[in-house]
């Protein structure tokens, strides 16, 4: 498994795993020489570095590497593991890494602030059964989205797709989204805080969702990410400059992502095995977690709806130029 880890990654990832602290790799955003398409047609592989989070869906990229899919498309991939999108975006922008897989809202926010980023492929999207969602205590009196008004909801990070879509559902249900209090608590700590009454609701992904629902007195409110039909939880992206200078490499990356995600969905046993290897999660846990829908296909309408929602709720001050952000 060809992985370069980032130094001192001791933070809990979205899968609730501690990333190993290693010395190699850097997502600081320092500029490096980016590979170009000069090797196209020469039969040589083009080296690229792809930034990933060490969570279950990202394992589909590792599966594609292991199965030779990226090599088939002319790419020699090195993976760098990042703590979150905040680290991936500046590294992609500077050319330290050429591609990354992360949530589309972060890309839209960056683009709205003048950081030229382009989404080049789909990757993962909401699914049924949901791989994430909000849980509450059965005796909390919270039975609808409107009931979150005036309540405290924990997320691993605020100003993300979790609180954005929760706001949308609260308003749709007749509540005041501005009256919901969102706070940051690491995923592994949220269940204890919920049971102790320090928070009213908890937004969590797998495997924490299954663990919470297996706890007596805890129930599922819903998955806020379904506020947008087919919402991407992650997409493949690069800098606009890199895509414009290397369109063949961008197309090859998107094609490889499409093939790798299709393989993961077609052979879920192999995919789950790779999740175990990639994340270090126990095999018995991975065997039972709900999987997200994986596909490299990119639906522009989903990104447009997400951008409009982000503008409505003040996550961005103005919408970015989606013709530059979305590469199809």
pLDDT in tens, 214-271: 999 999 999 999 999 999 999 999 999 999 999 999 999 999 999 999 999 999 999 9
Q: Tell me the residue range of the domain where 307 lies.
A: 3-126+230-325
* Domain final residue, candidates 179, 210, 227: 227
State the Cα–Cα distance between residues 281 and 291, nearest whole angstrom.
Answer: 14
Task: Tell me the average pLDDT across 303-314.
Answer: 98
* Domain final residue, candidates 175, 193, 227: 227
Same-domain pairing of 121 and 254: yes
Task: Tell me the average pLDDT across 293-298.
Answer: 97
- Local structure of 52: helix, strand or coil: strand
State the Cα–Cα distance between residues 256 and 328, nearest whole angstrom.
Answer: 15
Confidence of residue 11 (pLDDT cuts 50, 70, 90): very low
Specify whether the CB–CB gap between 56 and 234 falls below 8 A: no
Same-domain pairing of 11 and 80: yes
Backbone angles phi and psi of 15, in degrees to 5:
-95, 0
How much is the pLDDT for 4? 45
The mean predicted confidence, pLDDT, of the chain is: 88
Residue of 232, 234, 242, 235 whose CA lies nearest to 97: 242
Q: Is the pLDDT of residue 16 over 80?
A: no
Same-domain pairing of 8 and 94: yes
CATH number of the domain to which 98 belongs: 3.40.190.10
pTM given for the model: 0.85
State the Cα–Cα distance between residues 274 and 285, nearest whole angstrom.
Answer: 13
Beta bridge partners of 51: 80, 100
* Domain final residue, candidates 193, 227, 261: 227
Same-domain pairing of 40 and 96: yes
Same-domain pairing of 54 and 139: no
Same-domain pairing of 236 and 121: yes
Pairing state between β 232-239 and 201-205: unpaired
Task: Tell me the average pLDDT across 144-171.
Answer: 96
- Local structure of 110: helix, strand or coil: helix
Same-domain pairing of 176 and 220: yes
Domain count for the chain: 2
């Amino acid at each position: 498994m060809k992985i370069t880890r980032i130094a001192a990654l001791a933070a809990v990832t979205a899968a609730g795993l501690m990333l190993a602290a290693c010395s190699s790799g850097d997502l600081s955003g320092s500029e490096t020489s980016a590979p170009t398409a000069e090797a196209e047609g020469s039969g040589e592989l083009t080296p690229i570095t792809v930034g990933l989070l060490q969570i279950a869906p990202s394992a589909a990229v590792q599966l594609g590497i292991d199965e030779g899919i990226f090599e088939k498309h002319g790419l020699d991939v090195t993976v760098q593991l990042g703590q979150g999108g905040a680290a991936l975006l500046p590294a992609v922008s500077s050319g330290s890494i050429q591609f990354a897989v992360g949530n589309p809202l972060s890309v839209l926010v960056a683009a709205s602030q003048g950081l030229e980023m382009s989404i080049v492929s789909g990757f993962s999207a909401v699914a049924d059964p949901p791989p994430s969602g909000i849980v509450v205590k059965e005796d909390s009196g919270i039975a609808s989205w409107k009931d979150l008004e005036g309540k405290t909801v924990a997320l691993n990070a605020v100003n993300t797709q979790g609180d954005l879509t929760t706001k949308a559902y609260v308003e749709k249900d007749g509540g005041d989204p501005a009256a919901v209090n969102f706070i940051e608590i690491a995923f592994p700590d949220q269940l204890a805080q919920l049971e102790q009454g320090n928070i009213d609701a908890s937004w969590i992904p797998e495997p924490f969702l299954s663990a919470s629902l297996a706890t007596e007195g805890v129930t599922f409110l819903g998955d806020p990410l379904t506020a947008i039909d087919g919402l991407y939880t992650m997409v493949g992206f690069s800098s606009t400059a890199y895509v414009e200078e290397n369109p063949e490499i961008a197309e090859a990356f998107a094609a490889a992502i499409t093939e790798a995600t299709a393989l993961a969905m077609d052979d879920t046993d192999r995919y789950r095995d790779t999740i175990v290897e990639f994340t270090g999660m126990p095999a018995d846990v991975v065997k039972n977690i709900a999987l997200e829908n994986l596909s490299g296909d990119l639906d522009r309408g989903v990104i447009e709806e997400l951008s409009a929602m982000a503008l409505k709720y003040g996550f961005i001050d103005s919408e970015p130029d989606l013709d530059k952000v979305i590469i199809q």
